[in-house]
Structure 1
């Protein structure tokens, strides 16, 4: 079984949490039994999370050797220059080594998204922009670190697609069996 889930902001990609106070987890969304997240999506990120009960499928979806593309819509602080976008396209050097090249394009207008709760802070004097960024790796907080490395801090991060699976109209906190 493969399930597409639109993970809301500030939800853990696991079914239990031992922190005090506990944080919201996948258990709150009535997902089918015995499915587990194929990969991770940070607590403070939103969007497409695939869940499965098939370990081999989870491996194919998440192992970097299979180079599954993951597309993110990234709201960044600042106005991206062509040079900054080119840096992302070539790959940037992070503290754990260079990244593979990314596919990057400006999104104008912004993608059609739901309101986030709490909303992203708005700063009247600081512009922001949206990018579509596709990577085939999956390092810890990689997209946030990549945009920061080129001088564009991430304000909001939404995974829009994994491989051929897209969010396509899934509201936050809802899921569908594929």
Structure 2
């Protein structure tokens, strides 16, 4: 009988300014911050999906390619809280839920219908390393957007498409796993 390989799974609050990767991909000079500097992860670790450099929040990590493929295949919900420039309107929210046209890989792409709503209160996240402009420059608001797909910079492109560019983007949930009260850069082991 073959011995089953033991896999490792983690959740991390990915900080702003970090790439969702562990190695330098051959770049000569690396001024980019990588996740491997935050924790002593096991060999073979990979991010499940990505959060771009300017996005933060819940990122799942695993040594199991099957787990990664399952979550990235489009069947698992991912919820984001986006702080947008301006007081987002009911009409803009409706457009987001129906799907909007964005650019992706040089082509037009219409996003799948999704769940979206304006948050009634400002979520309490730890302060980001790079300051976000304040209300002296006009109002901001927060919106929850839940997707099952995940194109490159999709949430940012969606909020811009409806006239409310994203100022801060935090992923708060993947499936049934929540960011909750994690602190920026915190790592927790998971049993999946």
Residue number in structure 2 paired with 1:69: 77
Deviations 1:102-130 (A, max 9, x none): 21111121111010111112251411000
Please say if residues 39 and 58 of structure 1, whose CA atoms lie closer than 8 Å, have aligned partners that are also in contact: yes
Give the alignment partner of residue 17 of structure 2, picking from 4, 10, 15. Answer: 10
Which secondary structure does the structure 2 equivalent of 1:87 belong to? helix
User: Displacement, 1:21?
Assistant: 4.5
Which secondary structure does the structure 2 equivalent of 1:97 belong to? strand
Residue number in structure 1 paired with 2:42: 33
Residue number in structure 2 paired with 1:105: 117
The separation in 1 between residues aligned to 2:137 and 2:65, in whole angstroms, is: 48
> RMSD value over aligned CA atoms?
1.2
Alignment of 1:117-136 (within 5 A): 117-136=129-148
Q: Say whether 1:90 aligns with 2:79.
A: no
Could you state the TM-score of these two structures normalised by the residue count of structure 1? 0.94
Please say if residues 31 and 175 of structure 1, whose CA atoms lie closer than 8 Å, have aligned partners that are also in contact: no
Q: Say whether 1:78 aligns with 2:90.
A: no
Deviations 1:23-80 (A, max 9, x none): 110111114212210110000000000000111000001123xx21100010000111
Residue number in structure 1 paired with 2:32: 23
Which secondary structure does the structure 2 equivalent of 1:6 belong to? strand
- Structure 2 residue runs without a partner (length 5+): 1-7
Which secondary structure does the structure 1 equivalent of 2:132 belong to? coil
Q: Say whether 1:43 aligns with 2:53.
A: yes
Deviates more, 1:141-150 or 1:89-98: 89-98
Could you state the TM-score of these two structures normalised by the residue count of structure 2? 0.88
Between structure 1 and structure 2, the one with the greater Rg is 2
Which secondary structure does the structure 2 equivalent of 1:111 belong to? coil
Please say if residues 13 and 41 of structure 1, whose CA atoms lie closer than 8 Å, have aligned partners that are also in contact: yes
Give the alignment partner of residue 182 of structure 2, picking from 157, 170, 178. Answer: 170
